[in-house]
Chains A and B, each alone.
Chain A
Amino acid sequence: MAVKMPAKPSTPRLSELPVDGHFGEFGGQFVPEILVPALKELERVYKEMSVRFDFQSELKALRADYGGRPTPLYFAKRLTEYANGARIFLKREDLVHGGAHALNNALGQALLARAMGKRRVIAETGSGQHGVAVAMACAVLGLHAEIYMGVRDIERQKMNVQRIQLLGATVHPVTTGSQTLKDAMNEALRDWVTNVPTTYYLIGSAVGPHPYPMIVRDFQRVIGDEIKGQLLRREQRLPDLLVACVGGGSNAIGTFYPFVNDEKVRFLGVESGGAAALCHGSIGVLHGAKTFVLQDEHGSISETYSVAAGLNYPAVGPEHAFYKKLGRAEYITVSDQEALEGFRLLARFEGILPSLEAAHALYAGVQHAQRMKRDQIVVITLSGRGEKDLETVVHHDTHAALE
C-alpha cells in the first residue's frame, strides 16, 4: 500500500514551532514504538492543561510562593565597569528555589504527571540540579521520584546527590557508557520503556522526542518573559544581546524564545568546548530527536568532557539546531579554563558564585560586552548558583597554584 507524503505546509513563524513535532528538519519522535502512544497522550494532556485556568493558576502560585519568582534582573554595575562596554544585566535564575532554573520546568511537568494520574516520576540528571528540582517538585506535590545519574557525575556533584536523597527521592547510579548525562538519559528511557503505563518521564532539558522540547521550552519561557517585562519597565527598551549557556539548551531557549520575533535582539548560546554539539557536531539522532550530535563518521555517539556536568551532553535541543541553521542565534564555545575565569570574575566583582554552567555564559557575555557600545544592553542568564561546584573550582585553583 502506498504511504502518502504529507502536504508541504507554508512556512510558519519561528514562534509557532514546532509543527507536527518538528522544528524545520529537526526534532521528531525517534523512539521505540512502545513509547509512541505515551508521547501522544502527553501531548494531548499538555495541550489541554496549557489552556486550563486551574492548572495555570496552580503553576503560577507554586512558582511565586514556593519557587520565589519573579527572579530579579540585576544591573551588574561593577562587572559593567570592568568590561567597559555594553551595560550588563544578570537574570538571577540562581535565586530560584533549589538554586537553578531547573525548578521552572520540574514544577510544570510534575503538575502534568499528577494530572495524568502518574505518581511515579523518573528523571535523568547531569549536574544534579534537575534531579534536585524534580525531587522538590515531587515532594511538594506528593509524587515519588527516582533519578538516574552517571557515576562520574555522582562523584563530582556529591552535594546534589545528598540533597536529592534528603528530599526523599531515590538516586540510581548509572555505570554504562561514559557514565554521565547521556547515559543517565539512556537508563531513564529504558526504565520508561519498562514502566510506561505507571510512570511519568520528566525530561530536564529541551531535548528528547516531541513534545518534550516544546513543553520544556514553554515552562522555561518564564525567564525570557520576565526579562522582557523587567527591562521594558526599567529601560523602556529591549536588550541588544541575550546570552545563555547551552548543554541541552533549556535555560537558553527559555531566555531566547519570547524574543524570537524581535529581530533586533541577538541571541548568543554558549557551549562547553568539550561538548559542543552545535559548534562541532553534525546532524544525527539521539534520544528521540533529530538535531546536531557529536558523532564519528559511522554514527557512533562521541564521548564528551566538560568541567560543567550540566553542559556535558553530545547533542542539543532541536529548536537550537533550527535557530543555528537559520542563523537566528549564534553559538560559540568557551573552554573549561575560560569558564573558571568567568566564575572568578563574578565572585570578585559582584559577590555571586555562579554554577560552572552559568560561568560559561558569563565569560562569553563579558567578552561580547567589551566589544559593544556603552548604550547597548547585554542580558546574561545566570542559570544556577555555584555551591555545588566549589570542590571542582577549589581543586582547579590548587592545581593552578602548584603549576
Chain B
Amino acid sequence: MILTQRLSKRFEEVHSRREAALIGYLMVGEPELSRTLDYIRALESGGVDIVELGVPFTDPIADGPILQAAHSRALGQGVNIHTVFQVVRELRKSSEIPILLVTYYNPICRLGEEPFARRCSEAGVDGVIIPDLPIEEAVSWVNQARKYGLARVFFVTPETDNERVQKICEYASGFVYLVSRYGTTGPSETLAPTVLPLLERVKPLLPGDLKLAVGFGFSTRTQIELVVRAGADGVIVASALAVRVAEGASPEALAEYIRELKAGTKHISSQIL
C-alpha cells in the first residue's frame, strides 16, 4: 500500500502557502471523552494542520507532569486503543485532516503489530509516533506500517549523532520528530538553546521527501517563528494545549490560542523556498 496521501499532501499545501505545518496534540478522553471530538474540531478550526491523538498509558516515561496527568485521567475514563480508533472513525466522517497516533509501545505489543497497523489503517489514521521505540526495535513495525500505508515517525534528539540521523532517515517516513532539548514533554516560554544548532545540523541530512517537525517545549508564537525561520517544516505543540484543555478552556478559547500559534508558522525563510 502507498503511504497515505493526506499527510504528504498537507505538507505540500502548507508549503505552497509559504507556511510551516502546525501540529497539535490532544489526548483522547480530554477534557472528557464525550467532548474530545469537539476539541479535535477546535484544533482544526483554529488552524492546526495535522492532529496528533494521544493513546493513554499507565507509565509514560517520556512525558512530564502535564501529559502524565492527561494519561491518567484518560485511563480513569476507560479510554483504550479501541476507544481511540472509534474517535478517529467518527472524525473521519467529517474531516480529512491528517491524524497521527502517539502511543507507547506496550499497547501495540499487546494488540500485536499487524492488527494494530491494520486497525489504524481501517480507522483512517495516517501515521504513528511511538516514543519508546527506537529504530533498533522497529524492524518489524516498519514493515507492518509500510504494508498498511502508515507514516513512521521517529525521533532525533540533541544526543543523536549525524551517522545515526542518517540511519533513522532510512526507517522514517512522513517526517522526523526533532526533540528540541533534553527532558520530558512540557511547555516552556523560551526557546531551548539546543534547538537551533540541532536544526541546522540535522536539516541538511534529511532526504528531500522527509519533512522535519520540531517539538518539546513550544507554547508561544515567538518560539515557533524562530524555528520556522531556521527551516522547520512543522512545529508540534502538545503540553501547552493539554494544560489549557485541562484547565477548562472552551473549544473557542483553544481555537483562539491556536490561531495565535499558527501565525508563527507563516514566516518561512526565503532561502528554503
| Residues of A that sit less than 8 Å from B by CB | 1, 3, 5-6, 21, 28-38, 176-177, 182-183, 186, 189-190, 193-197, 282-288, 290, 293, 295, 297-301
Q: Across the interface, do A284 and B159 meet the contact criterion of CB distance under 8 Å?
A: no
Distance A6 CA – B183 CA, assembled complex (angstroms) = 32
Bound: A284/B64 CA distance, A: 23
Beta-carbon nearest neighbor of B56 in chain A: A300
Q: Is the CB of B62 within 8 A of A30?
A: no
Q: Which of A29, A182, A282, A290 is B59 in contact with, Cβ under 8 Å? A: A182
Given contacts A3-B139, A286-B106, A298-B110, contact A37 B80 (CB under 8 A): no
Asked if A3 and B142 sit within 8 Å, CB to CB, the answer is yes
Residues of A within 8 A of B131 (CB): 32
Q: Are A286 and B59 in contact, with the CB atoms below 8 A?
A: yes
B164: Cβ under 8 A from any A Cβ:
yes
Q: Does B61 contact A (CB under 8 A)?
A: yes
B111 at the interface (CB under 8 A from A): yes
B115 CB–A CB distance under 8 Å: no
Q: Which residues of B contact A36 (CB under 8 A)?
A: 134, 136, 159-160, 164
Between-chain CB contacts (< 8 Å), 17 pairs: A1-B170, A3-B170, A29-B137, A30-B133, A32-B132, A32-B155, A33-B168, A34-B182, A37-B160, A37-B164, A186-B59, A197-B159, A282-B110, A295-B106, A299-B111, A300-B57, A301-B106
CA distance A1 to B172 in the complex (A): 9
Answer whether residue B269 sits at the interface, using C-beta atoms and an 8 A cutoff.
no
> Do B132 and A298 have beta carbons less than 8 Å apart?
no
Q: How far is the CB of A284 from chain B (nearest CB, A)?
A: 5
CB distance from A118 to the nearest CB of B (A): 14
Chain B 159-180 against A: per-residue CB contact (8 Å), 1 yes, 0 no? Answer: 1110010001011000000010
Residue of A nearest to B130 (CB): A30
B156 cross-chain contacts in A, Cβ below 8 A: 33
Q: Do the beta carbons of A298 and B80 come within 8 Å of each other?
A: yes
Binary CB contact string for chain B from 6 to 40 against chain A (1 if under 8 A, 0 otherwise): 00000000000000000000000000000000000
List, in ascending order, chain B residues with CB within 8 A of A32's CB.
61-62, 131-132, 134, 155, 157
- Size of the chain B interface, CB-CB below 8 angstroms: 45
Given contacts A29-B136, A284-B110, A285-B109, contact A196 B182 (CB under 8 A): yes
Q: Contact partner of A298 among B81, B139, B183, B184, CB < 8 A?
A: B81
Contact B182 A284 (CB under 8 A): no
**B132 in contact with A288 (CB, 8 Å):** yes
B201 CB within 8 Å of chain A: no
A194 to B185, CA, bound (A): 10
Instruction: Tell me if B110 and A34 are in contact (CB < 8 A).
Output: no
Q: Does B223 lie at the interface of the complex (its beta carbon under 8 Å from any beta carbon of A)? A: no
Residue-wise interface mask of B (135-146) relative to A, using a CB-CB cutoff of 8 A (1 in contact, 0 not): 011010011000
Does B206 reach chain A (CB closer than 8 Å)? no
CA distance A6 to B142 in the complex (A): 14
B82 at the interface (CB under 8 A from A): yes
A34-B158, A298-B107 known; A193 and B184 CB under 8 Å? yes
**Cβ contact within 8 Å between B62 and A193:** yes
Pairwise interchain contact B109-A299, C-beta atoms closer than 8 A = yes
When the two chains form their complex, are residues B57 and A34 in contact, meaning their CB atoms are under 8 A apart? no
Interface string of B51-75 (1 = CB under 8 A from A): 0000011110110100010001001
Residues of chain B within 8 A of A30, CB atoms compared = 105, 132-134, 137
Q: A33-B154, A284-B106, A295-B106 are in contact. Are A196 and B159 (CB under 8 A)?
A: yes
| Most B CB within 10 A of own CB, among A6, A285, A299 | A299
Check if B134 sits within 8 Å of A29, measured CB to CB. Answer: yes
> Is there an interface contact between A3 and B132, defined as CB atoms closer than 8 Å?
no
Considering the chains assembled together, what is the distance between the CA atoms of A34 and B198 in angstroms?
13
Report the bound CA distance from A63 to B151 in whole Å: 51
Known A6-B139, A32-B155, A196-B159: A299·B81 in contact at CB below 8 Å? yes
Q: A29-B134, A37-B161 are in contact. List 15 more A-B contacts (CB 8 A).
A: A29-B137, A30-B132, A31-B134, A32-B131, A33-B157, A34-B158, A34-B182, A193-B182, A194-B183, A197-B182, A284-B110, A295-B106, A295-B110, A299-B111, A301-B58
CB < 8 Å: which of B56, B136, B183 contacts A193?
B183
Find chain B residues with CB under 8 A from A290 CB. Answer: 109
Residues in chain A near residue B82, CB distance under 8 A? 298
B152 — nearest CB in chain A belongs to which residue? A3
Shortest beta-carbon distance from A185 to chain B in Å: 8
How many angstroms from the CA of A29 to the CA of B159 in the assembled complex?
Answer: 16
- Are B58 and A37 closer than 8 Å at their CB atoms? no
Q: Which residues of A contact B136 (CB under 8 A)?
A: 21, 28-29, 36
Write the nearest CB–CB distance from B196 to chain A, whole angstroms: 18
For residue A282, which residues in chain B have a CB less than 8 angstroms away from its CB? 110
CA distance A5 to B140 in the complex (A): 8
Task: Report how far A278 CA is from B46 CA in the complex, Å.
Answer: 49
B-chain residues with CB within 8 Å of residue A283 when the two chains form the complex: 109
A3 and B80 contact, Cβ closer than 8 Å, known pairs A37-B161, A194-B182: no
Q: Tell me the complex Cα distance, A287–B62, Å.
A: 11
A193 to B139, CA, bound (A): 24
Which residue of chain B has its CB nearest to the CB of A192? B61
Shortest Cβ distance from residue A288 to the other chain B in the assembled complex, whole angstroms: 7
